[in-house]
Structure 1
């Protein structure tokens, strides 16, 4: 290789590569193979992710932080032991301490419960658009994250088979494809399963979070097992425990009878520590309607944090409202690639520079064609890097 071809790696430079693993086995086996395969990405992410190293870990090393950590882990061992084993497999395969990966899945719970603080005051969040027209059924999504995530993610296409029913919902088989942040369980970005459930996630930031409840990352992991809309609602309600934090889920089922319908579910944390289910509000749209959602509660009356995540969500919604209601995939691409706003663009990128937040990729699910297109760059001016088929159970 000549000296002109050599390149110094810059973690803030957008790379045109998305690795994928096809894996089958038990929950632990699948986790282990994911961790082993993506060990370098996972270790790099854990070492460089500032919220983990500057906030979550220092608080974890306090008595109060340990209490919140153990209360939450105990609930998950009781309700979702298979996903705890899956995460343990990722940790073992990547040779990373389990508690560090679990803290990533707890996200803001420890800072909020211990310090009554949202440790990240940034315009974090994603934008999702669902179009439901006779000739165009589209779910589009920007995946926006801290810059450390820019090149640290991958596809997991997994077939999990268990000898015995697993967890509170007694699941024996799961088959899905999910875009995953390094070291994270599947489910919290863009996803589909072999029952035909297609969904994307928008982070929502409630002002008050709960210890000893189910973190949203585990609820959306469980959602990958849902066979129908009734099961999806049951999982989001999380009867008996309830969510520790909140998010928005945009979803549809490819195998549903009758006309296409899309749902937006706003999930909020259990109101009080002794409440045993999530708050939930579901909007359903029929043909001729659309859903647009960012990172602010629109219907569920949940007190939210102050700061840039709300400011960003409001400005992105204002940008979307400046367009005519979307009718086609091209309309969705124009909206998700927009950079016209004064402060908070829909597609966020400053090439080659260190920014706190970036749009790390854009996904377009075409439900008519049953494809999932993934763009590493602005979809307005670039072709997708990969187009995956949506493969369903016969």
Structure 2
């Protein structure tokens, strides 16, 4: 019997976690096998939800879409074959078609390839970084289409291979990441055993590129970064570049000197340069930063996505009404805010919301913990507090 839809199920206080070790394919297969029910039901709902997988499939079934799909997949087979294997493992473990999972990772790129209008939803997440002495915090609301509610899980993986993998020659990865059902780790909130902590805000550029690296795969590769220099190298993806864009909020727990947070706005590779466009903001001690879902510093042409733009602006306006946050209580208050006059709240949970906040995460860098809330953090205790376990 199918699981009831997330709309009928209501918000659950449940976040499953899988601990797995093996090759990329084996880890992917374990994820698919363990969460097969969630993945199968999620795909079924995603295909029937307007403005989502159904539209990707329509674009895929055009000659232009087919070419864009193959060009992008062939690029990844050359540069990141291990992550293609990982996604194949998830598809086979869950007994679902690989191409449907891959289309979710291509996202709007497949629509651009078929010359179809990009989907305009008020989707996206809100992130706040606080860099105060004893209060070094990264807080993040994970916002997505309402159907995504209850369709997510933790993956804590240790991947070891005999030979260097992919363009960066990685042999070992160890990380924990919050994942949407059927998606690779890395595109929500994550940390790795080198001490990298990061969260993602989706950004939408107008000129998307096929035959490039989709952002989901770039942030998956980011889970291997040992330091900030490597993180920049991965995001820049020289020799290819990103096919779309996002914002990355990050810090390294074990960095020398003062605590620094970074916000990186990443844009698609241009026709002239075979690398991602990057703009980096550094948050020094005594400072804070906010980011939602529009480019704040990078001069990049964005599509006419009115709903997404209005949502991003509204959440930034809400944050600016507060005094600069100094501690975790301030952070919880801001990430729980529901006071916007037009109903475009930071924490989105109205019955009529097409986009909902599915979870809230707070990384306490000082205490080396990650608190995950399935509901508003101002009114609720965390569902789980995970220790950030680092490589010795």
Residue from 27, 35, 39 that aligns with 2:36 = 39
TM-superposed CA distance for 1:216, in Å, is 0.1
Alpha-carbon distance in structure 1 between the residues aligned to 2:247 and 2:318:
19
Deviations 1:170-227 (A, max 9, x none): 0000000000000000000000000000000000010110010000000000000000
Residue aligning to 1:237 = 236
TM-score by length of 1: 0.96
Alpha-carbon distance in structure 1 between the residues aligned to 2:219 and 2:234:
8
- Which segment drifts farther, 301-310 or 225-234? 301-310
Residue aligning to 1:360 = 358
Q: Which runs of 4+ in 1 moved over 2 A?
A: 50-54
Alpha-carbon distance in structure 1 between the residues aligned to 2:255 and 2:84:
31
Alignment of 1:24-35 (within 5 A): 24-35=21-32
Alpha-carbon distance in structure 2 between the residues aligned to 1:104 and 1:240:
24
Alpha-carbon distance in structure 1 between the residues aligned to 2:5 and 2:267:
37
CA RMSD of aligned residues (A): 1.1
Residue aligning to 1:11 = 6
Alpha-carbon distance in structure 2 between the residues aligned to 1:20 and 1:11:
19
TM-superposed CA distance for 1:113, in Å, is 2.7
TM-superposed CA distance for 1:358, in Å, is 0.3
Residue aligning to 1:286 = 284
- Give aligned pairs, total: 383
TM-superposed CA distance for 1:41, in Å, is 0.3
TM-superposed CA distance for 1:148, in Å, is 1.2
Residue from 32, 43, 48 that aligns with 2:45 = 48
Residue aligning to 1:348 = 348
Residue aligning to 2:86 = 86
TM-superposed CA distance for 1:14, in Å, is 0.4
Which consecutive unaligned segments of at least 5 residues does structure 2 have? none
TM-score by length of 2: 0.96
Alpha-carbon distance in structure 2 between the residues aligned to 1:299 and 1:177:
30
Deviations 1:353-377 (A, max 9, x none): 3641100000000011110000011
TM-superposed CA distance for 1:340, in Å, is 0.4
Residue aligning to 2:142 = 143
TM-superposed CA distance for 1:309, in Å, is 0.7
Residue aligning to 2:65 = 65
Q: Is the 8 A contact 1:147 1:354 kept in 2?
A: no
Which consecutive unaligned segments of at least 5 residues does structure 1 have? 1-7
TM-superposed CA distance for 1:300, in Å, is 0.7
Residue aligning to 1:330 = 329
Q: 1:10 to 1:184 in 2, by over 3 A?
A: closer
Residue aligning to 2:74 = 74
Q: Is the 8 A contact 1:52 1:103 kept in 2?
A: no
Alpha-carbon distance in structure 2 between the residues aligned to 1:246 and 1:9:
33
